A and B are shown apart, each in its own frame.
Chain A
Amino acid sequence: MNLLVHKSMWLLIWLRFKGWLRAQFSGKSVMRLVGAVVGAVVFLLWMLNAVMWPVLTGRRSSKLLTTTPEDVINFASLGLGAITAMTLIFGGGTKLMTFRPAELDFVVPGPYSPRTLINYKLLTLFASGLFSGIFYSIFFARHTGHFVSAFVAGVLATLFATLAGITLGLVGEISGSRKLLVLGVARGAIAAGVAWIVYRFVIAAREAQVAAVQAAEAAGTDGAKRLEAMNGAISVRTRVAGVMEETIVSVLTLPFRPFGNLFAASTFAQACLWASVCVIMVVALWSAIVFMQRAWQEMAVRVSEQTAKAAEKMVKGTRERGTLSKRLAAFAPQLQWMGPTRAIARRHLTASMPMVIFAPLLGAMVPLALSYMVRTSEDTQAPAIIGAIAGFGMLPAVIFIAPALLRMDFRNDLDHIETLKTLPFSATRLVSAQLFTPLLVSTLMAWALAGAAMFVGREAILKHIDLGVVVLVFAAMPIIILIVLCIDNALFLLVPERPMQAKGVNVAVTGKRVLTMAARLLTFGITLAPAALLAWLVYFFSDSLFAAGVTALVIAGGAAIAGVLLVAWTFRRFDVSRDMPE
């Protein structure tokens, strides 16, 4: 194998793996050790579940999970096609072939030929493909033909998608001044192909929907029979197979079918045949990349540096502002009423203006679009009710998940806490200003979603619920969001973590996140329990939903204020000299 890469590169790969293992269980702190143990347990449980499921239940015993080899081929081809298309369109492949900063300083200047460097990089990609192979083979164990063929298919499919992305990037690179034209044409063609397939699936979905409604109407009034009739009429597999058989779609997905066949292969002969085809495709791309080695090194170094800078920014929580963001920042309100702390709030707000504007629009679109899309006959309220249910159904997710994802507060300021501590504001005022933007964005999103749901289902909703209660629901949203934000920020200040890990996959961090999530849910439940209990008591004695709602609102409001004070306390006790997560 020394012909492929220098023996020192094998040593480096081994040393890095050894170092990674060592880092997983290096007990620098109790929290880290606990996190490592929990992370390992969670991983083992997942593995056990995925592996044992087919054994305990018998492969494909569940009716819902029954898949034929043709289904596997279709879905795997589509999935890999989608991944490859995304990689090619958004240039993901070029990012995957980048060198890590240490490799740029120690490996690239090393006594290696460009060909050896390429092989080393592709070998590391192959190594990461092994992990993908394990993941795919375990995760889809109940559907694929055989564990081994699924593993090989996973490895080769991951490598194929990546190599295709790198090859396209290199073709652009050697095109010189015509780079943008070449890449634009190639990516445009791929996007057109994807759009065509999506269009065919939308048409198929629409046909399925009409068939389902007709089948439901024909089935009478029995709910179970209607559901069964609708399920039969929709028949996802038949419709997917129908689309895949269309000439254009089958041609577009042809390069991915060997991988699909390998996933589905259940005999040794089949596996060998399809594995050979897949290997030939991967080796062809590998050879093309080696052929373009000069362009490769230029691009690899440049993209590596860009990726390293972007990763550093993400780790530190600083975002690169786009043109739209910079333009919209001018429209951010001045927040004069906040006094001197407005600078803190505006810092996050100006950076989040696209979110402030587009997140509510996005929220409102769900119920509106759903109510429109499912409109099949004139004399039914079903579309409106479906839209309203979907809107209100998504509300808890928005209220609970949006604040966790937005991270426009202390969670994005780990490297700035020292500076924040020097500012001449009380901790409470500072915390209020820090939480302002995520509270605003999340509330606008929740209100837009609930407002749209209310709009499309107004007749049905107001028939059963008083307007006063509806108003209370809307008033409760910012309060609950503030509680969630307070819990998240207090936990973060107690046990800080980075939004993205600088050092890749880490069992200890995964375990720590599982623990944090559990603590988050538990704290949320405990915080709102008194409000729910008292509201229930009020409702029990007064039989008034409105009175119960007001009670809950008042108590939850108190909890939110206590939450702000709690965050202020955790901020005051935050020791900036502690070991920060990297």
Chain B
Amino acid sequence: MSDESTAATHVPMTSSGTLALDVNGLVKSYATLTAVRGLGFSVKPGQVLAMVGPNGAGKTTTMRCIAGILPATRGTIAVGGFDLEKQPVEAKRRVAYVPDDPKLFDNLTVWEHLEFIAAAYELKQWQPIADSWLERFELTPKRDTPTSELSRGMRQKIAVIAAYVREPAFIMLDEPMTGLDPRGIRTMKDSIRERSRAGAGVMLSSHLLALVEDLCDALLIMHKGQLVFFGTVMEARERFGVSQTGDSSLEDVFFRATEGAANATAIASVDVLTPASDATNTTGGGNA
């Protein structure tokens, strides 16, 4: 399939050996609330990290800080080796963020959105790539349609295409499957795998634990703004699984981890917040 190959063969903008994302001691406070408390983790090129946690855990706030929408109160964020605070333009050039309910410019057509993205990120020869993604997400017939006339799922796809067309070093997807039909979900899953194979670091937030099991090789569990677990899915099973054989479902892991976190918050246990292994936590960060 030529379209797919066009879309998948481009290499993201990060040099080998550089972390796609490196977060250290991230704190995000509001007037009366601390939404994220000392979060530290990293994503390697080609890695797919799932961020899970109950509602209000601070997942979206974390993503928005990494995307440069919200300034962090404390801590550092580096994307593709560029510090978001000190080199915001270079860092933001390397990160793509797709919110859970993306809002588009109503009066702009699908293609005009991509035209703007191409101008913003100074992309060259972007049209064939954009066309191939439109084809794959079955949006070619809607190319010149104002986005106000599109369904929720179609808008979601456009936001994803706007992210993919840039071929960034690091991609964040907040609840990427919301509003998609079964075919859209399959395309989305395939595309995430492809971007990962092409070397992009991917972080996705989802309540669909089956999706997490299916797609992700690393797991980050958050609860009340704190890091509860960061490591591989297998390590999560070993730590929080109910079965001694390590084949507990991710659902069991999730509930035990977040319930444990509630207790851990009460006793301020440092152990629970320690990253699972150096293999996934390459920076040695992760202490809450």
Known interface pairs A109-B95, A582-B148. Does A19 touch B108 (Cβ–Cβ under 8 Å)?
A: yes
Contact status B89-A15, CB under 8 Å = no
Chain A residues with CB under 8 Å of B162's CB are: 106
Q: Does A128 contact B (CB under 8 A)?
A: no
Contact status B99-A105, CB under 8 Å = yes
Contact status A102-B104, CB under 8 Å = yes
Contact status A114-B99, CB under 8 Å = no
CA distance A15 to B119 in the complex (A): 12
Contact status B121-A108, CB under 8 Å = no
Q: Does B120 contact A (CB under 8 A)?
A: yes
Q: Does B93 contact A (CB under 8 A)?
A: yes
Q: Does A503 contact B (CB under 8 A)?
A: yes
**Which positions 92-128 of chain A face chain B at CB distance < 8 Å?**
100-102, 104-106, 108-114
Residues of B participating in the A interface, judged by any CB pair closer than 8 Å: 30, 67-71, 88-90, 92-93, 95, 97, 99, 102-109, 112-113, 115-117, 119-122, 146, 148, 159, 162
**Nearest 8 Cβ contacts at the A-B interface:** A19-B107, A101-B103, A8-B119, A8-B120, A111-B93, A109-B67, A102-B105, A102-B103
**Chain B residue at minimal CB-CB distance from A302:** B30
Q: Does A23 contact B (CB under 8 A)?
A: yes
Instruction: Kindly count the residue-residue contacts between A and B in the assembled complex, taking CB atoms under 8 Å apart.
Output: 95
Residue of A6, A22, A294 touching B120 (CB-CB under 8 A): A6
Contact status B121-A16, CB under 8 Å = no
CA distance A294 to B70 in the complex (A): 10
CA distance A582 to B121 in the complex (A): 32
**A43 → B minimal CB distance (Å):** 19
CA distance A114 to B69 in the complex (A): 10
**Which positions 287-309 of chain A face chain B at CB distance < 8 Å?**
294, 297-298, 301-302
**A170 → B minimal CB distance (Å):** 14
**Chain B residue at minimal CB-CB distance from A180:** B31
Residue of A16, A109, A582 touching B97 (CB-CB under 8 A): A109
Residue of B70, B71, B89, B95 touching A112 (CB-CB under 8 A): B89
Chain A residues with CB under 8 Å of B115's CB are: 11, 15
**B106 → A minimal CB distance (Å):** 6
Number of contact residues on A: which range applies? 20 to 34
Residue of A19, A104, A503 touching B112 (CB-CB under 8 A): A19
**B93 → A minimal CB distance (Å):** 4
Chain A residues with CB under 8 Å of B116's CB are: 8, 11-12, 15, 106
Known interface pairs A113-B88, A582-B148. Does A23 touch B107 (Cβ–Cβ under 8 Å)?
A: yes
**Chain A residue at minimal CB-CB distance from B117:** A106
Contact status A104-B103, CB under 8 Å = yes
**Which positions 1-51 of chain A face chain B at CB distance < 8 Å?**
6-9, 11-12, 15-16, 19-20, 22-23, 26
Contact status B108-A104, CB under 8 Å = no
Contact status B68-A109, CB under 8 Å = yes
CA distance A102 to B146 in the complex (A): 14
Residue of A11, A23, A101, A298 touching B71 (CB-CB under 8 A): A298
Known interface pairs A15-B112, A15-B115, A19-B108. Does A111 touch B71 (Cβ–Cβ under 8 Å)?
A: no
**A314 → B minimal CB distance (Å):** 17
Residues of A participating in the B interface, judged by any CB pair closer than 8 Å: 6-9, 11-12, 15-16, 19-20, 22-23, 26, 100-102, 104-106, 108-114, 294, 297-298, 301-302, 502-503, 582
Beyond A8-B116, A108-B68, A111-B92, 17 additional pairs, beta carbon < 8 A: A8-B120, A12-B119, A15-B105, A16-B107, A20-B107, A23-B146, A102-B104, A102-B106, A105-B159, A110-B92, A111-B89, A112-B88, A294-B71, A297-B71, A298-B70, A301-B70, A582-B148
Contact status A105-B68, CB under 8 Å = no
CA distance A151 to B9 in the complex (A): 54
11 examples of A-B residue contacts, CB within 8 angstroms: A15-B112, A16-B107, A19-B107, A22-B107, A26-B146, A104-B103, A105-B99, A106-B113, A110-B120, A111-B93, A112-B88
Chain A residues with CB under 8 Å of B88's CB are: 112-114
Most buried by A among B68, B107, B115: B107
CA distance A297 to B88 in the complex (A): 13
Residue of A15, A105, A114 touching B103 (CB-CB under 8 A): A105
CA distance A23 to B148 in the complex (A): 10
Chain B residues with CB under 8 Å of A294's CB are: 71
Known interface pairs A15-B115, A113-B89. Does A104 touch B69 (Cβ–Cβ under 8 Å)?
A: yes
Contact status A111-B121, CB under 8 Å = yes
**Chain A residue at minimal CB-CB distance from B120:** A8
**A578 → B minimal CB distance (Å):** 15
CA distance A503 to B117 in the complex (A): 22
**Chain A residue at minimal CB-CB distance from B99:** A105
CA distance A503 to B105 in the complex (A): 10
Most buried by A among B99, B113, B119: B119
Chain A residues with CB under 8 Å of B67's CB are: 109
**Chain A residue at minimal CB-CB distance from B149:** A28
CA distance A26 to B148 in the complex (A): 12
**Chain B residue at minimal CB-CB distance from A115:** B88
CA distance A12 to B121 in the complex (A): 13
Contact status A109-B92, CB under 8 Å = yes
CA distance A109 to B88 in the complex (A): 10
CA distance A302 to B70 in the complex (A): 9
Residue of A22, A104, A110, A302 touching B146 (CB-CB under 8 A): A22
CA distance A57 to B92 in the complex (A): 59
Chain A residues with CB under 8 Å of B104's CB are: 102, 105-106
CA distance A11 to B113 in the complex (A): 11
**A123 → B minimal CB distance (Å):** 15
**B109 → A minimal CB distance (Å):** 8
Chain B residues with CB under 8 Å of A9's CB are: 120
Chain A residues with CB under 8 Å of B146's CB are: 19, 22-23, 26
Chain B residues with CB under 8 Å of A302's CB are: 30
**B101 → A minimal CB distance (Å):** 9
